[in-house]
Structure 1
Amino acid sequence: MQTTSQITDMDPNLKLVDFSQVSPEQLKSQVQQAIKAGHAFLDDLDNETDSPKQAQQALADIIEFDHIGLGLDRSWGILSHLNSVMSNEAIREVHHEILPLLSAFGTRVGQNKPLYNRYQTIKNDREFFNGLEAARKRAIDLAIQSFELSGVALEADKQSEYADIQSQLSTLSAKFSDNILDATQAYALPLTTEQLSGITESGLAMLKAAAEQYVAKQQEAGESVEDKPEYVATLDIPVYLAVMTHAEDRELRKTLYKAYVTRASEFDNHKNSKDEPLDNSQVMSDILALRAQKSKLLGFDNYAQVSLSRKMADSAEQVEGFLRDLANKATPAAKRDLEQLKEEASAQGIESIEPWDTAYLAEKVKQAKFNLSQEEIRPYFPLPKVIDGLFTIVNKLFGVRAVEQSDKVALWHDEVRFYELFDKDDSLIGGFYFDLYARTGKRGGAWMSGFQARYEYAGSSSEAYNQLPVCFMVGNFTPPTADKPSLLTHNEVLTLFHEFGHGLHHLLTEVSISDVAGVNGVEWDAVELPSQFLENWAWDSKGIELISAHVDTGEPLPKEQLEALLAAKNFQSGMQTLRQIEFALFDLLIHAKSPAPDYQGILATLDKVREDVAVMQTPEYNRFANGFSHIFAGGYAAGYYSYKWAELLSADAFSRFEEEGLFNADTGQAFRDNILAVGGSLPAKTNFENFRGREASIDALLRHGGFIDNNEVA
């Protein structure tokens, strides 16, 4: 089933996309055709008169429909990806035009009783169901749950209302994402020479590159640029952090901070290409109201209950208790962190610490306390070396090896790289793309997109079809210069390891039923387990040896800097933990409220959470929520707590390696077999306990966070 040209000289089961031949209109046509084929299949199901089907035939129908849906997953997956990494008016217009069609089709599938009845027929035939492989049974259970959460049992008028809500939500989420991307890229602040004091060499290079883009953009728009600035600050994360961490000009930091935390809010005066305000205030309120309406239709009290019905956690009360308990344990450390910053502030002549001071002061404290500067160690983490070391670590743990094949495939941008992943016996496992640099038209952050799941089909209506897993791993690191590769901070190294952990979860699956292959079907509060788990090797001295070498000399990271880096692991971890808990509690509470809060209620909830857990005050104008894409434009609604929940699992999983050896291949194989290989084919709790041999414990999380002594038992 091809939606684009197949790449020559590559394994045909990779089903790679020829991005040189992809156009928005072509993808639009392919999505429409795929939706049409899906509707036709459902029309035939609706005309069936010999229901209920026997279990064997019911399963055959389900498999056939899943196969038809492959074309839609593929064409829409490509379009969505391009809208995230190469957004322009043409791609965005087609993407948004397709959204209502996709939403309507998804709703019809979720509410289709003939299809639902086939799943029930299989489930009710206990002998037949029990004879199925575990992955198929799990996929059927999850599908039945999905039908119920899509309103399959609703009356016709309520189903229509549900469909309308889903359509509106998909449009609003896209608008939220557009607004924050446009607001981020609309801001540019030309800088004077005096404002550059303290900014590092790499930071100045980014500011200079931003100035060149700023001038080019003005000229493209037909505007004359009389005084071409040499340096321009933007809100792209690498540039923003370069200023906030190092600029000695406090007013500059304040200006940039305010611009960043008011993006897409009532304080943002920028407009989009249609001359519309980039204000997410009403969008957020509408999203919450619609989610609440959907929850009521489905018989839930609020959206938090809907979200948690498919997660490991049992209830909002349990999650809130977990978060507040962790906040209590982290608060003493956070207060100590703040005292460190206050001492440095006093030395700098700053009477009262403000949020635009924290990164700057933290860097000063780190240099003084640990003799550690992120900028000084950045040359020891050139991206090519980090990638090579990452691949070596993964090979030691799981026996797999990555081979670059970028010159053999068509890519969506010349910065992108493609790799094949091979197993111990040299068999091809799958492929992955790296798109790691910040650029115009690319949304911020880092993510893994499991574009193509492992899948096998041997149906009767067409020839056999086998598909290997392929994923996109995306970052926003500092781009390379003419004479140097991208040089990473250690935080960016951790980000790369994190996303590669997601990638391994997707690629190393041994499940061929795509609904539960890789990350698919994994409870959302467990999906971060492999990603956070892999970060541990970027904190280990032997791991750091493999990923570091000076960009010019090839020398390893000096012992004193390595020791300083490891000693600083938990630096500011208390305040960082409280910040994550603040986000998670806010997300949980706005989705647990009934009725759903309006914009002022959203802000009030965030204020109350900060009052409960934060150790520093936040300016009244801060509109963090207006850019909280994870919950308003991503899959984390009432689920942002998953990062801390999964961190507990990952810390405990890693503690087995601490006991048995960090590069113990047998332990690595056990993790691969019990976590990575099984994907969503078993409940996450079962997978974890199969690996760890017991229930999860919070002890390792508290120890790794520096909240208890290594010898203290929680």
Structure 2
Amino acid sequence: MTHDTDAQPRPIDLPGAGDWLAWVAGRCEGELAEARARVEQVKVATGATEVLGAWNSAQTAIANADAVSLWAEVHPDAAVRGRADELSQQVQKYVTELGQDRDLFDVFDRLAASPEAGDLEADAARVLAHTLRDFRRTGVDRDQATRDRLRELSEQGVRLSQDFGRNIREDVRSIRIAPERLAGLPDDYRAAHPADDDGLVTITTDYPDLVPFMTFGADGEARRELALAQNNVAWPANDQVLQDLLAVRRETAGLLGYSSWPDYDTEVKMIGSGQNVADFIERISVTAHERAVAELAVLLERKRVDAPGAEAVETYDSRHYSELVRREQYDVDGQVVRTYFDFERVRQGLLDVTGRLFGLEWTPVAQSEAGTWHEEVATYDVGLDGARIGRIHLDLHPREGKFKHAAQFDLVRGVAGVQLPEGVLVCNFSRGVMEHDEVVTLFHEFGHLVHHVLGGQGEWVRFSGVATEWDFVEAPSQMLEEWAWDADVLATFARDAAGETIPADLVAAMRRADQFGKGLYAAQQMSYAARSYFFHAGEHDDLTAYGDELQRRYSVFPPLEGAHMHCAFGHLDGYSSGYYTYMWSLVIAKDLFSAFDTSDMFAPAVATAYRDKVLAMGGRRDAADLVADFLGRPYSFDAWQAWLVE
């Protein structure tokens, strides 16, 4: 299929009630054929403009084909999900072949050495530099035997990654308990979980069941049972899958000349090296430890009210007793708070807030026009200054076989004059009222979607959308969370069933209560980051035992006996050794937010500067340079450290 660069780009035509199996295959295979044709053009092109132009078209087609992985995560038809997995393997196999195509590499290598390279404009020169770096990271300059083995490892890694994710996605676990063990749960939750013919209630590990139960459920043993079920999702299947995946990554890094997978992984990230990751984990852990220990003591004191003589606060106690501390010591009752967050109002409020902040218009698209894959998906066209600049799809509720966490997926990466950016937000929120932390999560994930669309207006697909260093991509989304904590912002959409707006003093209390737990959060995040890093930094025969050791070293909560959380820790696939990214990005997010005036969260000058200097730039410059351009100085830890102790 040929891309028409003269016509005004339109959103892609999804099949709706049509034949999804045929459409998914046709879309992917057609784009792969387009990519192959464009790659052949690269090899015979005679000048820099022709070479880079054909390569941009090839990369665009590959990105379009690679989006097939979305359907493996969200499509309600298992046959479509399975076919999408197969097609995704084909795409990754082709990408691996391209990365080791010596003739193709030589084209770019010669171009870089030619006089033309010095005349390239900045973005084109960056495309060339990044392309050469990508080639070298695939081992294109190694001997044939090494290239063959790297190809085998890449294909094996794709299959293992798919197995790892599929095992998590398809393994929804549950507990069955007597109705009286729902003590403490809100009325609407209890009503939605009636007893079955055996007189028992089923609670699943899906988020809408899990989060309220772990927050409000008064039965500690029931919380332990559900936590154990959640932390044993995909056990034992993923234990060996993960070991095999780690082995593939270790061998890959070694063949490419790196001392470890983290060193290979961080070469293209802001942090720069594996040792820097280890140092960062230690720095955050040391900085947060004193506060975490003090907060743990508060939780233990409150637990002893219910369980005199208790000696420890377990992981499954954390949410519950943090909620009680906030309710009793900060006068914030989560069950009252949630009554102000009706899902439909929150979704519309989010659109209104981000529209006002970034100057965007969100126009609903009828399902008959959008051709969406499920009746609960909501679609919007995105406008800026009267022009359509993209389309988004919101798939926000759980269902069987669907991705279990929260993430933004690319459907189309935007290229100016060629195709509009389209993104899909995939979450698992309740259909009724939401917890406030779910509202915060929705703002966070929507930040990725905004970044994808605004950053998808440039010429080069290599830098389209969220194309910055991987340890920066969370920073803009974490910063957007701040708007979910502002009283004036929440007042625009947070209303209870009677139409009463959430009181400003309640929001102020929520903010004060939110200060409690920062140290616990930072410590626990570092225990996850340590698993991510140290699992990859060396070989470990027993991942459960080693994970428990890291939990004891970095978290203040003891390991959960009988749990194998690494099997359900989906980020060990996509983030590999880089889960530190969340805290690294939070450091930068707090610094970015320091430029905003908290008394005027929609001040147009700073919001527009942030939109244009950070979000709209995509990957056109290094993340550190984008931040410095916006702030007028290099990023620092100061704002994060001030936040931790406030």
CA 1:230/1:251 → structure 2, altered by over 3 Å: closer, same or farther?
closer
Deviates more, 1:394-403 or 1:535-544: 394-403
Secondary structure of the 2:17 match is helix
Pick aligned residue for 1:613 from 554, 576, 579: 554
In structure 1, the residue matched to 2:64 is 74
Residue 421 of structure 1: CA displacement?
A: 1.4
1:559 matched residue in structure 2: 504
**Can you give the 5+ residue segments of structure 1 that lack an aligned partner in the other structure?**
4-9, 216-226, 267-278, 457-464, 480-485, 710-714
1:334–1:545 CA distance, 2 compared to 1 (3 A)? same
Post-superposition CA distance 1:421-444 (Å, at most 9, x none): 111x21112111111112222121
- Please state how far the C-alpha of 1:122 moved relative to its aligned partner: 2.8
Is residue 414–residue 461 contact of structure 2 (8 Å, CA) maintained in 1? yes
| CA positional deviation for 1:559 | 3.4
CA RMSD of aligned residues (A): 2.3
Match of 2:376 in 1: 415
Partner of 1:546: helix, strand, or coil? coil
Shift in alpha-carbon separation, 1:336–1:96, aligned structure 2, 3 A:
same
The answer on whether the counterparts of 2:24 and 2:84 sit within 8 Å (CA) in structure 1 is no
1:192, 1:307 → 2: CA distance? 48
Residue 472 (structure 2) aligned to one of 526, 543, 559: 526
1: distance between equivalents of 2:189 and 2:128?
52
What amino acid is the match of 2:142?
L
Partners of 1:487 and 1:615 lie apart in 2 by 32
Q: Structure 2 unaligned runs (5+)? A: none
- Corresponding residue for 1:219? none
Question: Take 1:590 and 1:26, find their aligned partners in 2: how far apart are those partners?
Answer: 39
> What residue is the counterpart of 1:461 in the other structure?
none
Distance of 2:485 and 2:42 partners within structure 1: 55
Aligned to 1:304: 262
Q: Structure 2 matches for 1:66-105, cutoff 5 A?
A: 66-77=56-67, 79-86=68-75, 88-105=77-94
| Residue 304 of structure 1: how far off its partner (Å) | 0.4
How far 1:558 moved relative to its partner?
Answer: 2.1
Cα distance change on mapping 1:580 and 1:563 into 2, 3 Å: same
Pairs within 5 Å for 1:367-382: 367-382=327-342
Inter-partner Cα distance in structure 2 for 1:25 and 1:421: 28
1:238 alignment partner in structure 2: 208
Give, in whole Å, the separation in 2 of the partners of 1:75 and 1:35: 6
1:255 aligns with 2:255: no
Structure-to-structure mapping, 1:285-324, within 5 angstroms: 285-324=243-282
- 2:515 matched to 1:570? yes
Residue 55 of structure 1, aligned match among 41, 47, 55: 47
Aligned length: 639
C-alpha distance in 2, partners of 1:452/1:32? 15
Report what 2:435 is aligned to. Answer: 489
Number of the residue aligned with 1:441: 401
Q: Distance in 1 between the 2:129 and 2:58 partners?
A: 21
Give the 3-state SS of the residue equivalent to 2:400 in structure 1: coil
Q: CA deviation at 1:548?
A: 1.1
Show the counterpart of 1:626. 567
Displacement of 1:688 in angstroms is 0.6
Tell me, what secondary structure is at the counterpart of 1:102?
helix
Cα distance change on mapping 1:474 and 1:229 into 2, 3 Å: farther
> How far apart are the structure 2 equivalents of 1:329 and 1:610?
17
Name the counterpart of 2:95: 106
TM-score with structure 1 setting the length: 0.85
Q: Name the structure 2 match of 1:276.
A: none
Q: Contact 1:207–1:239 (CA<8 Å) still a contact in 2? A: no
**3-state SS of 1:285 partner:** helix
Alignment partners' CA distance in 2, 1:427 and 1:354: 53
Pair 1:507 & 2:453 matched: yes
Name whichever of 656-665 and 342-351 sits farther off: 656-665
Indicate the residue corresponding to 1:516 in structure 2.
463
Aligned-partner residue type, residue 117 of structure 1:
D
| 1:35 is aligned to 2:32 | yes
SS of corresponding position for 1:477: coil
Match of 1:394 among 354, 363, 374: 354
**Aligned counterparts, 1:653-672, within 5 A:** 653-658=592-597, 661-672=600-611
Question: Which amino acid in structure 2 is aligned with residue 441 of structure 1?
Answer: G
Distance apart, 1:103 and its partner CA: 2.8
Distance (whole Å) between structure 2 residues aligned to residue 42 and residue 488 of structure 1:
48
Amino acid at match of 2:108: Y
Paired amino acid for 2:537 = A
In the TM superposition, what is the alpha-carbon distance from 1:2 to its structure 2 partner? Answer: 8.2
**More displaced 10-residue stretch of structure 1: 310-319 or 605-614:** 605-614
Superposed CA deviations along residues 145-183 of structure 1, whole A, max 9, x for unmatched, are 111111111111111111110111111111111111222
The residue correspondences of 1:84-163 to structure 2 (distance < 5 A) are: 84-86=73-75, 88-126=77-115, 128-163=116-151
State the shift of 1:343 in Å.
1.2
Rounded to whole Å, the distance in 2 between the matches of 1:282 and 1:109 is 30
Q: Contact 1:165–1:294 (CA<8 Å) still a contact in 2? A: yes
Residue 27 (structure 1) shift: 2.1
Distance 1:206 1:329, change over 3 A: farther
Check whether the contact 1:192–1:231 (CA below 8 A) recurs between aligned residues.
yes
Larger CA deviation: 129-138 vs 252-261: 129-138
Q: Secondary structure at the match of 2:396?
A: strand
- Once residues 148 and 698 of structure 1 are traced to their aligned partners in structure 2, the CA distance between those partners, rounded to angstroms, is 33
Instruction: Flag the 1:93–1:406 CA change in 2: closer, same or farther, 3 A.
Output: same
8 Å CA contact 1:25–1:94 kept in 2: the answer is no
| 1:543 maps to 2:532 | no
2:629 corresponds to which residue?
A: 690
Deviation at 1:40, TM superposition (A): 5.5
Counterpart Cα distance in 2 of 1:347 and 1:71: 61
Letter in 2 for 1:405: V
Deviation at 1:347, TM superposition (A): 0.8
Partner Cα distance (2:191, 2:127) in 1: 50
Check 1:230–1:409 CA distance in 2 against 1; reply closer, same or farther (3 A cut): farther
**Residues 99 and 167 in structure 1, CA contact (< 8 A), matched pair in contact too:** no
Write the distance in 2 (CA, Å) between the matches of 1:348 and 1:581.
Answer: 29
| Alignment partner of 2:14 out of 14, 17, 26 | 17
Alignment-mate amino acid for residue 57 of structure 2 = H
**Is the contact between residue 135 and residue 511 of structure 1 (CA under 8 Å) also seen in structure 2?**
no
1:406 is matched by which residue type in structure 2? A
2:180 to 194, 199, 222: 194
Does the alignment pair 1:592 with 2:505?
no
8 Å Cα contact 1:31/1:75 also seen in 2? yes
Partner residue, 2:591: 652
Deviation at 1:588, TM superposition (A): 1.3
For 1:167, give the aligned amino acid: E
Q: What is the identity, as a one-letter code, of the residue corresponding to 1:674?
A: K
Where 1:466 maps in the other structure, the secondary structure is coil
TM-score (norm 2): 0.93
Q: Which moved more, 1:442-451 or 1:82-91?
A: 82-91
Tell me the distance in 1 between the aligned counterparts of 2:123 and 2:37: 28
Q: How far off is 1:396 after superposition?
A: 3.2
- Give, in whole Å, the separation in 2 of the partners of 1:569 and 1:242: 17
